[in-house]
Structure 1
Amino acid sequence: MKKQENFCVEKGEAPQEFDDDGQLRRTGTWMSASAHIITAVIGTGVLSLTWCLAQLGWIFGTFLLVVFAVISWYTCILLTNCYRSPHPVTGTTRNYNYMQAVKTNLGGRQYIWCAIAQYETLIGVSIGYTITSSISMGAIKRSNCFHKYGHDKGCHTLNSSYLSIFACIQLVLSQLPNFHKLSFLSVIATIMSFVYSTIGMGLSIAKIAGGSHPKTSIGIPPKEDMSSKEKMWNIFCAIGDVAFAYGFTSILFEIQDTLKSSPPENKVMKTATTIGISASATFYLLCGLLGYVAFGNNAPGNYLSEFGFYEPFWLVDIANLCIVIHLLGAYQVVVQPFFAFVESWSRRMWPESRFVNKEYAIGYFRFNLFRLIWRSTYVILATVIAMMFPFFNAFLALIGSTTFWPLTVYFPIEMYIVQAKIRRYSFRWILLRMLSLVCLLVSSLAAAGSIRGLVVSVQTSKLFLSVS
């Protein structure tokens, strides 16, 4: 049977004011889509990569950084073709989000599983961003304290106040009505991610040039102060952190849905995906490898916020401030699809409710009571969970390990097989299923390591008393 490589018909021309689906004409380009992708990908993940290499060594660590990037890029390319699906009446129909694409191509049961995996990712990432932002805020205060009183001082501070500050800002930003209003946040966040990544690389180079030559390892690093079992768990956790670093497939369709109809959305999205993942992978490799040279096998979990660098203190402060600004925008990029899902479901359930549907205007600002209360409640609950489980590396690893396989590998491959009508047990079918199986095994090991890390962290910490 002849395989069809371009599955979805992409329409080129759109009316002046409305697109072919009756919605307001979309105005996104490859530049805005690339900015959304970089904002979603380069975030908390870059901060832990030096620690990951310290657990994995040169060969295995570099190999994983490249392989996860290639897998993510390949499966995202497959996904871009599924934004439009054949329709018996209109010719094609748009899949506005990941879940709709799964339901259209794979059916209802897969749809439910996808919903669980996708919203677990979005919720988990928003909590992870809250944790990381509070740590970076605390690091700014500690940096100035170290500069004033010396590096031998503890300068410790509770993170609760910083978590509350981040939450208050998100209470305001969360009232942006939809994903299409986030372009300015994504552009700012993208700039910030480049700034703090560049500062991290610069500080690493300065540390290396200053004569820092800590021990590194070609293979898995030996850990004399750690049992073999403990070292194995750390390796699994590091794999989960690397998997987390490249995840953005859960919001790919929301990003693609911002693009203009001409040129075809799938072609533009492929360009944006290639640019976004290439830029992210380049920064990850540079930050991770340079950081590993600078810190060696004893690298900190977060090399900008756990004081791998002390001086110049003002540059460390700028880097951490950029992290906070970046995550303020990235939080909205990842959580808006979840907001949209809940609000769309509520409108279908209660179409006559004024509380759910009525929009009020105060000047140029429009608000809805349900949106105001629901989104504010979500931000508060996410902040409370971040206060309860403020464990950077283990938390990121858990999110990455439990969502990488279903969202980045399994569903894209299954939808590709269905739409391309790949014959069962053909060579390509076998290769794709083998890729999926290998990724499942890797994700399972990483999940085990991250869960174990969380359990150990919970046992040795006090509830709501996170200290930087």
Structure 2
Amino acid sequence: MSSSLENGANTPDVDDDGRIKRTGTLLTASAHIITAVIGSGVLSLAWAEAQMGWIPGAIVLLMFSLITWYVSRLQADCYRNHITGKRHYTYKEAVRSILGGRKYKYCALAQYTNFVGVSIGYTITASISMAAVKRAICFHKNGHEVGCHVKNNLFIIIFGIIEIFLSQVPNFHKLSWLSVIAAVMSFGYSFIGISLSIAKVTRVGIARTTLTGVVVGLDVTLSKKIWNILTALGNMAFAYAFSMVLIEIQDTLKSKPTESVVMKKAITIGSNITTFFYMLCGMMGYAAFGNDAPGNFLTGFGFFEPYWLVAIANIFIVIHLVGAYQVFVQPLFEFVETSCGERWPTKKFIREKYGIKIPVCGVYELNLMNIIWRTGYVIIISTIAMILPFFNDIVGLMGALSFWPLTIYFPIEMYIAQGKVITRSYKWYFFKFLSFSCFIVSVLSATASLYGIISNITTFKPFQSIS
């Protein structure tokens, strides 16, 4: 009887794993997917379109959408272990259960590397948006002929100080309202960006655009165009980097109908809506700015009136990234702190906690190791952002590093390992070809992003970033 209760048998309020009965539906899963996908990745799509042009840009974006949709559907079949029927609650747990400990370590390495890259990228993006707010106000007060240039370092420091404080909040990543705020902010600045693009096109017409993007000899050199196209691939891949949360979303669904069936429908709905939204952002942003599209298309509206709308859009970005930063770094914090605790279980510096009474908030348990490690991490990330404030190259590198291993390789390998594919069958060869092709794309994009970073370093003075 005890065993039956633990497994949820004959208990209407719990599922087969003993947890509280899940109530997620097709509608809620679709909403979660849309929320997870639409984010700061939309900011670089206009620039990416400008590198490729109307036709290639649209085709490539659709290809990323199609591949991500297809592989995500394969991943939906990996929510339960095909032998035991056991649920997998997280992406990493699914990899460990199906592929084993060795590949689990590779998966964890890929995830934590991505977390560090995202930290740097979000710091750069937030500082640029803060500077854009100040510039928009300056243009309004002093006229559009004034440059209103500002240094980004101050805003990187401000963002870093905020993150140092928030990093000390216990269980910050478990606050449910964080996802709601992030969703509202991301939709808010995306819609404002689209609206401003439409308004600009309506007012002054479509900017200088071409079918194949920036013109060799006029806008860029041939080699620069090739490098930019490869970097743009990484930017587009970053926009679709949501595979890591699909298992978690699927774990919210009811058992009937089968979770995989509902999840596949939700993936189709979510992918269609987000692709339409991305096409709108990329195409309208390209129409508004043409081949001169800025890396972050919302920062290009500094001259636009009403200035307060531009400022609000960039404030939305900052608010979104303040919370999103913590969503990504908290698992990394927890991993390092847990590992240190297991390795040095007797060290007071690691284990000892001191209760400090804080008015209104109650008692805060202070741990020296956590404070020093988390504060040091944010400071290092902020310093790197000051040294390497290259928005599109950093975003491209993040997208390239995460796309193949996390979005393509592990889901395909899990699907094959579940026994869904006969070894050396036509389907098996197709999966291997798809995985290898995406691997090549990721390598080329990562190489181009690194090349862009190195090239910029040779001409850029560290700590002198200006908007």
TM-score class, shorter-chain normalisation, is 0.7 to 0.9
The TM-score with structure 2 as length reference comes to 0.87
Post-superposition Cα deviations, 1:90-132, rounded to whole Å, max 9, x if no partner, equal x444444433322322233323322222111111112111110
Q: Counterpart of 2:461 in 1: which secondary structure? A: coil
Equivalence map 1:124-135=2 (5 Å):
124-135=117-128
Alpha carbons of structure 1 residues 252 and 178: separation in structure 2 relative to 1, 3 Å: farther
Equivalence map 1:205-354=2 (5 Å):
205-223=198-216, 224-256=218-250, 259=252, 262=255, 266=260, 269-270=263-264, 273-307=267-301, 310-351=304-345
Higher mean alpha-carbon deviation, 247-256 vs 284-293, is at: 247-256
The match for 1:110 is 103
Q: Tell me whether 1:408 sits opposite 2:410 in the alignment.
A: no
Aligned pair partner of 2:147 in 138, 154, 158:
154
Structure 2 residues not aligned, in runs of 5+: 1-6
The match for 1:3 is none
Equivalence map 1:26-175=2 (5 Å):
29=24, 37-85=33-81, 91-175=84-168
Alpha carbons of structure 1 residues 364 and 77: separation in structure 2 relative to 1, 3 Å: farther
Q: Tell me whether 1:418 sits opposite 2:417 in the alignment.
A: yes
Q: Is the 8 A contact 1:179 1:337 kept in 2?
A: no
Equivalence map 1:346-385=2 (5 Å):
346-351=340-345, 356=350, 360=355, 362=357, 367=365, 369=367, 370-385=369-384
Q: Counterpart of 2:81 in 1: which secondary structure? A: strand
C-alpha displacement of 1:236: 0.9
Q: Tell me whether 1:431 sits opposite 2:430 in the alignment.
A: yes
Matched residues in 2 for 1:422 and 1:58: separation?
38
C-alpha displacement of 1:25: 4.4
Alpha carbons of structure 1 residues 48 and 26: separation in structure 2 relative to 1, 3 Å: farther
The one-letter code of the counterpart of 2:440 is L
Matched residues in 1 for 2:266 and 2:127: separation?
31
Q: Counterpart of 1:305 in 2: which secondary structure? A: helix
Alpha carbons of structure 1 residues 12 and 79: separation in structure 2 relative to 1, 3 Å: farther
Matched residues in 2 for 1:366 and 1:74: separation?
46
Alpha carbons of structure 1 residues 280 and 443: separation in structure 2 relative to 1, 3 Å: same
The one-letter code of the counterpart of 1:396 is V
Q: CA RMSD in A?
A: 3.0
Matched residues in 1 for 2:148 and 2:376: separation?
33
Matched residues in 2 for 1:197 and 1:235: separation?
23
C-alpha displacement of 1:160: 1.6
Q: Tell me whether 1:181 sits opposite 2:174 in the alignment.
A: yes
The one-letter code of the counterpart of 1:457 is N
Q: Is the 8 A contact 2:135 2:149 kept in 1?
A: yes
C-alpha displacement of 1:389: 0.9
Higher mean alpha-carbon deviation, 361-370 vs 100-109, is at: 361-370
Q: Is the 8 A contact 2:250 2:259 kept in 1?
A: yes
Post-superposition Cα deviations, 1:14-62, rounded to whole Å, max 9, x if no partner, equal 979987767x748784677656544543222111111111111111111
Alpha carbons of structure 1 residues 401 and 105: separation in structure 2 relative to 1, 3 Å: same
Q: Is the 8 A contact 2:132 2:302 kept in 1?
A: no
The one-letter code of the counterpart of 2:298 is L
Higher mean alpha-carbon deviation, 384-393 vs 335-344, is at: 335-344
Matched residues in 1 for 2:15 and 2:336: separation?
24
Higher mean alpha-carbon deviation, 369-378 vs 67-76, is at: 369-378
Matched residues in 2 for 1:14 and 1:238: separation?
54
Q: Is the 8 A contact 1:251 1:337 kept in 2?
A: no
The one-letter code of the counterpart of 1:298 is D
Q: Is the 8 A contact 1:216 1:297 kept in 2?
A: yes
The match for 1:443 is 442
Matched residues in 2 for 1:270 and 1:321: separation?
35
Alpha carbons of structure 1 residues 187 and 270: separation in structure 2 relative to 1, 3 Å: farther
Q: Tell me whether 1:397 sits opposite 2:391 in the alignment.
A: no
Q: Is the 8 A contact 1:404 1:443 kept in 2?
A: yes
Q: Counterpart of 1:195 in 2: which secondary structure? A: helix
Structure 1 residues not aligned, in runs of 5+: 1-10
The TM-score with structure 1 as length reference comes to 0.86
Q: Is the 8 A contact 1:39 1:326 kept in 2?
A: no
The match for 2:187 is 194
Q: Counterpart of 2:159 in 1: which secondary structure? A: helix
Post-superposition Cα deviations, 1:256-303, rounded to whole Å, max 9, x if no partner, equal 55x366566655654554454444322211111111112222212111
Alpha carbons of structure 1 residues 368 and 86: separation in structure 2 relative to 1, 3 Å: farther
Identical amino acids, percent of aligned pairs: 50
Post-superposition Cα deviations, 1:391-450, rounded to whole Å, max 9, x if no partner, equal 101110111112211111111111111103411221211211121122122222212221
The one-letter code of the counterpart of 1:137 is M
Matched residues in 2 for 1:357 and 1:44: separation?
37
Matched residues in 2 for 1:133 and 1:261: separation?
38
The one-letter code of the counterpart of 1:244 is F
Alpha carbons of structure 1 residues 54 and 12: separation in structure 2 relative to 1, 3 Å: farther
Q: Is the 8 A contact 1:12 1:261 kept in 2?
A: no
Higher mean alpha-carbon deviation, 167-176 vs 46-55, is at: 167-176
Alpha carbons of structure 1 residues 20 and 173: separation in structure 2 relative to 1, 3 Å: farther
Q: Counterpart of 1:310 in 2: which secondary structure? A: coil
Matched residues in 2 for 1:217 and 1:16: separation?
61
* Aligned residue pair count: 453
Matched residues in 1 for 2:145 and 2:320: separation?
30
Matched residues in 2 for 1:367 and 1:76: separation?
40
Alpha carbons of structure 1 residues 232 and 326: separation in structure 2 relative to 1, 3 Å: same
Alpha carbons of structure 1 residues 27 and 181: separation in structure 2 relative to 1, 3 Å: farther
